[in-house]
Homo-oligomer: A and B are copies of this chain.
Amino acid sequence: MAISFKVIKEDTESRARLGQLETPHGTVQTPVFMPVGTQASVKTMTPHEVSQVGGEMVLSNTYHLYLRPGHELVAEAGGLHRFMRWDGPILTDSGGFQVFSLGPLRRITDEGVTFRSHIDGSELFFSPEISMDIQMALGADVAMAFDECPPYPCSYEETRKATERTTSWARRCLKHHNRKDQALFGIIQGGVHRDLRLKSAAELSAMGFPGYGIGGLSVGEPKPLMYEVLDYLIPAMPGEKPRYLMGVGSPDCLLEGVARGVDMFDCVLPTRIARNGTVFTRDGKLVVRNAEYARDFSPLDPECDCYACRNFTRAYIRHLIKANEVLGIRLTTIHNLRFVLRLMEDIRTAIAGNHFSEMKTKFLRRFKTD
């Protein structure tokens, strides 16, 4: 087995739990948030900096790396870890989410998906087997099964078909995947339909994956609906396997996800809004590029311990962003990732100390959401 997972402690007032995920590239404490390095780089950051803000495991994208620079080149470089010089664990997604997000550009059959490259428009084809081949070449510690991710909203009938296909594709992935130093996680689909979610969970669980992704959430549905799905879905998932809620990363959703039993998260949100001049503070988001911060000589977040907050003012960072200086988005990215990763540290400390629910309530009372 490439990875092993053990639950260290379970919270008594919620489904939150502490765990340890052992991988060929080190052990990760869960609940964990994985920064996203779409194109083999966590945008604007060196691997050293990702590590410094507390990043332990990163995610990279099969679809993007397949298109550029190509998985054969990455394999030739010695695999993704060596190519991008990240010595910790890596997870690659299956490419499914990306090829399905391309919308009108794609055609789905039981065999796989025909889609067009967002770079040069060329016609390409992904199947469960191809996704496995690419991910095995990339060589991450965790690969994800190739799934069909329906949009939101989506009719019951269409969701049912996508869920069935996801199950059949999961079987093909399992059959094709043969890299011993890489774990393959299944992905549960089913949209916001309870019976489909439970069916998907049952079918995937029966296949005995070493971990499970929860796909098809955080795709535009209201947050309470996502929480509702997690409420009934997670108890139907294997308790001894890591549960990974894909594409979730806002501070409030991280807390609510952990409370419902999620062990792993990834999301571009913290780094994406950073490049837009928006940062997290304990009071909520702050748009530092706004004129009101032009003469604000305090740090982005006075309670933060990151490099940006220890050294620079809102006024300077706003200036850099307005002047299109790369250092500006480097500093907001460092801060936002540190904010989220420190939140995960606080969450783990709280679970360990039996005060997670209290910590969650306190954080959410202060943190203003949109």
Contact at A83–B316, with CB atoms within 8 Å?
A: yes
A316: which B residues are within 8 A, CB to CB? 40, 77, 83-85
> A316 to B77, alpha carbons, bound, how many Å?
9
Using known A-B contacts A84-B316, A294-B73, A316-B77, determine if residue A68 contacts B325 with beta carbons closer than 8 Å: no
Stretch from A41-49, A142-150, A194-202, A262-270 at the B interface? A41-49
Q: What's the least CB distance linking A56 to chain B, in Å?
A: 19
Q: Which of B43, B46, B68, B85 contacts A319 (CB 8 A)?
A: B68
> Provided the pairs A68-B319, A84-B316 are in contact, do residues A39 and B325 lie with their beta carbons within 8 angstroms?
yes
A284 contacts partner chain B, Cβ-Cβ < 8 Å: no
- B44 touching A323 by the CB < 8 A rule? no
A77 touches B326 (CB 8 A): no
- Does A122 reach chain B (CB closer than 8 Å)? no
Docked Cα-Cα span, A43 to B322, in Å, equals 14
| Interface membership of chain A positions 161-204, coded 1 if the CB is closer than 8 angstroms to chain B and 0 otherwise | 00000000000000000000000000000000000000000000
A14-22, A90-98, A238-246, A307-315 - the one binding chain B: A307-315
Whether B313 contacts A44 by the Cβ 8 Å rule is no
User: Contact at B76–A43, with CB atoms within 8 Å?
Assistant: no
User: Which of B45, B73, B78 is within 8 Å of A295, CB to CB?
Assistant: B73
A190 to B51, CA, bound (A): 53
In the complex, what residues of B have CB within 8 A of residue A320's CB? Answer: 39-41
* Residue A327 is within 8 A (CB to CB) of chain B in the complex: yes
User: What's the Cα separation between A43 and B327 when bound, in Å?
Assistant: 7
Residue of chain B at shortest CB distance from A40: B319
Contact indicator A77/B315 (Cβ below 8 Å):
yes
Nearest CB in chain B to that of A69: its residue: B319
CA distance A73 to B327 in the complex (A): 19
Residue count of chain A within 8 Å CB distance of chain B: 37
- The distance in angstroms between the C-alpha atoms of A326 and B312, with both chains bound, is 20
A282–B35 CA distance with the chains assembled, in angstroms: 37
**Does A326 lie within 8 Å of B326, measured CB to CB?**
yes
Q: Is A330 an interface residue (CB 8 A)?
A: yes
Contacts of A315 in B (CB 8 A): 69, 73, 77, 83
Q: Is A297 an interface residue (CB 8 A)?
A: yes
Chain B nearest CB from A221 CB (Å) reads: 31
Contacts of A84 in B (CB 8 A): 316
> Is A329 located at the chain interface by the 8 A CB criterion?
yes
Shortest distance from the beta carbon of A45 to any chain B beta carbon, whole Å: 7
Inter-chain contact B326/A330, CB cutoff 8 Å: yes
Minimum Cβ distance to chain B for residue A230 (Å): 33
Q: In the A-B complex, list the 6 residue pairs whose CB atoms are closest, starting with the nearest.
A: A69-B319, A44-B326, A39-B323, A41-B325, A41-B327, A85-B311
**What are 28 sample pairs from A and B whose C-beta atoms fall under 8 A apart?**
A39-B323, A41-B320, A41-B323, A41-B325, A41-B327, A43-B325, A43-B326, A43-B327, A44-B327, A45-B327, A46-B307, A46-B330, A64-B323, A68-B319, A68-B322, A68-B323, A69-B315, A69-B318, A69-B322, A76-B295, A76-B297, A77-B313, A77-B315, A78-B297, A84-B316, A85-B311, A326-B326, A326-B330
